[in-house]
Amino acid sequence: MAPLEHKKDLGMIVSRISMTVTGAALLLVTACTDPNRLDSSGGRDNETTATVMGSMLGAIAGMKVSGDKDRTKGALLGAFFGAATGSVIGQRLDQQEADLRRNLGNNQVTITNTGSELIVTMPQDILFAVDSSSVRSDLRRDLGAVANNLLAYPDTTIKIKGHTDNSGSAAYNQSLSQRRAEAVAEVLTASGVPPGRIRSIGLGEDSPLQSNLTNQGRAQNRRVEIIIQPYT
């Protein structure tokens, strides 16, 4: 192929890919601003977000694995299959979130649906006594509800992240956060969740949500996050 023709072909490919990605981006903006596409908590429709993100990632992947002549076709096929996968994941997460909210019944526990994962945040002050890594008996019911939800949706992996405020030494906080994450994991596995699906991580004081300069901020930083991610 002559250099000039090659450049023209590449230019057409880039133009078509740009149109595909731009269209997906516009769909994402529409989903974020259209009041008919908001979820029950007032956020954007997570199924739409997952569909659009899957489409964009699929287009990029399809373009990379195809030769120069087939890049447009690869991008379009990748966008199609990526959108389909993203839509399925988004639907599953929305349903899992709804089931978990219905069965949990604790307004101190928050659930965030990002479109690609669920983040269940439990304040450590309701899970543990001061300086303890033993889960309070009254909170075991809530963890049992989480475990039942995880058993109902087996095609997911679980990360449990323990966090502290900055009171005390960093080394001690790291150890405490790890022990608390593992204690939550033990309750889930005792309720039947396979341990191979769970990973426990102690982050100590390294990932605060708020400033540690106030009592309220420190209380929000003391938490355990259960992150639920679908298989892709």
| Least confident interval from 60-64, 132-136, 218-222 | 60-64
Which residues of the chain form CATH 3.30.1330.60? 105-230
Nearest Cα residue to 136 out of 170, 183, 103: 183
Quote the CATH superfamily of domain 105-230.
OmpA-like domain (3.30.1330.60)
| Least confident interval from 33-47, 56-70, 115-129, 150-164 | 33-47
pLDDT for res 16: 52
On whether the pTM is more than 0.75, the answer is no
Quick one: CA dihedral 223, 112, 100, 89, positive or negative? Answer: negative
pLDDT for res 106: 86
Backbone φ and ψ of 34, nearest 5°: -75, 120
Mean pLDDT, the chain, rounded, equals: 77
**What average pLDDT does this structure show over 3-23?**
50
